[in-house]
Amino acid sequence: MTRASVHLESGERIEFWAQGPGRITIGIRDQTVWQIPALSAVPASYSYHHREASETTFEWDDTVTVFWAYSYVPATVAAVGITMWDFSTAGIMRRHGEELSNWMRCDEERPSLHFSPPKNWMNDPNGLCKIGDTWHVFYQFHPCGNDWGPMHWGHATSKDLFNWLHLPVFLHPEQELWRLGATGGAFSGTAFEGKNGQHVFFYTERLPAYDLFTGYREVQKLAIPDRNTIKAECVTSIIEERPKGVYHDFRDPKVWWDDAAGGYRMVLGASLDGDPAVLLYGSVDLSEWTYLGPLYRAPKEYAEAGARAIECPDFFPLNGKWILLMGFVGLTEASTGRHNLLYALVGNFVNDAFIPESVELQVLDFGTDFYALQSFRAEDRQIAFAWLFNWEYRKTAVSPYSGELSLPRQLCLDERNRLSMRIAEEFETAVRKEILTPDRDDGYAIGKYPFEARLSGPLEGTTIKASDANRLSFELTVRDGMISVRLEQDDGSIRYAARLDTADDIRVIYDAGIVEVFADGGRVCGTRRSYANTSPDHIRISSLAKVTVSALHLAEPIFGA
């Protein structure tokens, strides 16, 4: 039995995910006020609401495992964030604000410029929006481990897109899935700002599922949050029936008001009689939805190459065109061996029909550790984040968490109407740069900090090699007009490469295993996430281009409003 005493505020709430079979007891002045005599033998979620400020004792026995725990006072949490709790045989350790940030920063394996959850598994970014002066990121979250599992929505906010305040879990699965021995839960979705300025969230619930690949049921839901956007307060199912030809994959809604149609529109990722497809729905009130037909259906060769469905479709206007972004789950590209590819199509949207300018899909990221991209409109910009993962490599070391988001990006069209991505301008103020001087061999000592390399001018023949004690971390090369990135662990069976047009500018950001490459003004982007040899201390750049290398440091976090 472990016993710990902590001070709790009046109104403080503790939410935690734990597994038994043991007991956990909360007491005030030796009086039990809350107890679970036997925690469930599978993970479950619990919450305790403290009513008066007092010293409080917690007692739990050795068979209790707490996977994720935090506390907060509802009235102040939007401004100050959660306090993370760690239960161990040494007692309870609580971390808040700067202490929580410092604890996250102490993990040398954790990228510092990229968003990651304090603990446990994260995948897709969800519900991206800006409310007032605050950016919101929600994300697919499994609170009970470092692997994908019953999905919740984690939540964090920021004033500058780089420093994040961690908030309570926003959405739970509708069922206690662990107890059912099932997966599923609150899957991906997006934010929608109504005409009254209120933000609501559309998402998919995968109902209790007993097979990862077939036979599951997915329904669409609408979540209305409380005043401070801390908890989904009212959740309703809005689409339960699947159209003909759609059997199980039917998810990831994105909603917009469509001026031309004079109504609301929604896209969903799906599989239509086996072909990856994007489906279009219409509504006049956001709650009754009618199926309008497929917006896009992939040619047969995609299903033949393994694509089971489209995930996380994004559809939005940009510079007079409409852009359709799609993830093809299951697809392996025959010519390169790459999988987890994200594609874009640029076209027009007329009378509820999408007419692409070219049938050829634009590969959005040649590195492929860049998936489930979600974009949203704010301040007249199309901002986006993606999840940096592609199931090829996993963290080998014991780590408190898994999953990061890309740097915030701004989406644009180039002069030939191809989609390009650049780092959002907030980078310039949130990140301090310290320009490094090269040694005689064009090498730079980077001292294990994140760094940026910018090259402008002729790139043919360029190599950038980052290493630690002669072990390669990554290597970028430009040869015969192709750019490619290789990690130490690559065996060459998959080719991560793209053709350059102008080949006269490259920007590379490296952050503890994450390599983000922007070339040709952002038209060619490549992202790799390595979990091996993630702290190179030296880079060598051989190029005819002008080279600038800078060490990068996050400017001080901003806490509170």
Active-site positions?
124
How many Cα atoms are found within 13 Å in the side-chain-facing hemisphere of 548? 10
User: Cβ of residue 209: shortest distance to ligand FRU, in angstroms?
Assistant: 11
| Among residues 311, 404, 490, 516, the one that binds ligand FRU under rule CB under 6 A | 311
Residues 475-504 that bind ligand FRU (CB under 6 A): none
- Round to whole Å and give the CA distance between 84 and 93: 8
| Among residues 166, 221, 242, 251, the one that binds ligand FRU under rule CB under 6 A | 251
365 binds ligand FRU (CB under 6 A): no
Parallel, antiparallel or unpaired: strands 546-554 and 431-436: antiparallel
User: Cβ of residue 200: shortest distance to ligand FRU, in angstroms?
Assistant: 18
383 binds ligand FRU (CB under 6 A): no
Q: Is there a contact between 476 and 521 (Cβ–Cβ < 8 Å)?
A: no
534 binds ligand FRU (CB under 6 A): no
| Among residues 44, 104, 128, 151, the one that binds ligand FRU under rule CB under 6 A | 151
Selection from 300, 272, 294, 313 nearest residue 354 by Cα: 294
Q: Token digits for 323?
A: 């852009």
205 binds ligand FRU (CB under 6 A): no
183 binds ligand FRU (CB under 6 A): no
- Between 213 and 561, name the residue whose CB sits nearer to ligand FRU: 213
- Round to whole Å and give the CA distance between 106 and 112: 10
Residues 6 or more apart whose Cβ sits within 8 Å of residue 262: none
Q: Partners of 16 in the beta sheet?
A: 46, 69
172 binds ligand FRU (CB under 6 A): no
- Between 112 and 390, name the residue whose CB sits nearer to ligand FRU: 390
549 binds ligand FRU (CB under 6 A): no
Residues 109-148 that bind ligand FRU (CB under 6 A): 123-124, 140
275 binds ligand FRU (CB under 6 A): no
How many Cα atoms are found within 13 Å in the side-chain-facing hemisphere of 209? 23
Residues 46-105 that bind ligand FRU (CB under 6 A): none
Q: Is there a contact between 21 and 34 (Cβ–Cβ < 8 Å)?
A: no
- Between 183 and 382, name the residue whose CB sits nearer to ligand FRU: 183
Q: Other CB atoms closer than 10 Å to residue 90's CB: what's the count?
A: 9
User: Cβ of residue 281: shortest distance to ligand FRU, in angstroms?
Assistant: 17
| Among residues 12, 160, 205, 252, the one that binds ligand FRU under rule CB under 6 A | 252
156 binds ligand FRU (CB under 6 A): no
- Round to whole Å and give the CA distance between 501 and 487: 24
- Between 20 and 150, name the residue whose CB sits nearer to ligand FRU: 150
340 binds ligand FRU (CB under 6 A): no
Q: How far is CA 283 from the centre of its chain?
A: 28
Q: Is there a contact between 362 and 520 (Cβ–Cβ < 8 Å)?
A: no
Size of the site for ligand FRU (CB under 6 A): 13
- Between 151 and 547, name the residue whose CB sits nearer to ligand FRU: 151
467 binds ligand FRU (CB under 6 A): no
User: Cβ of residue 318: shortest distance to ligand FRU, in angstroms?
Assistant: 23
Q: Is there a contact between 474 and 515 (Cβ–Cβ < 8 Å)?
A: yes
Degrees to nearest 5, angle at CA 96 with 71 and 141: 60
385 binds ligand FRU (CB under 6 A): no
159 binds ligand FRU (CB under 6 A): no
Tell me the one-letter amino acid at 64. V
- Round to whole Å and give the CA distance between 88 and 94: 11
- Round to whole Å and give the CA distance between 26 and 4: 10
Using CB under 6 A as the criterion, which residues of the chain lie in contact with ligand FRU when the complex forms? 123-124, 140, 151, 187-188, 204, 251-252, 311-312, 371-372
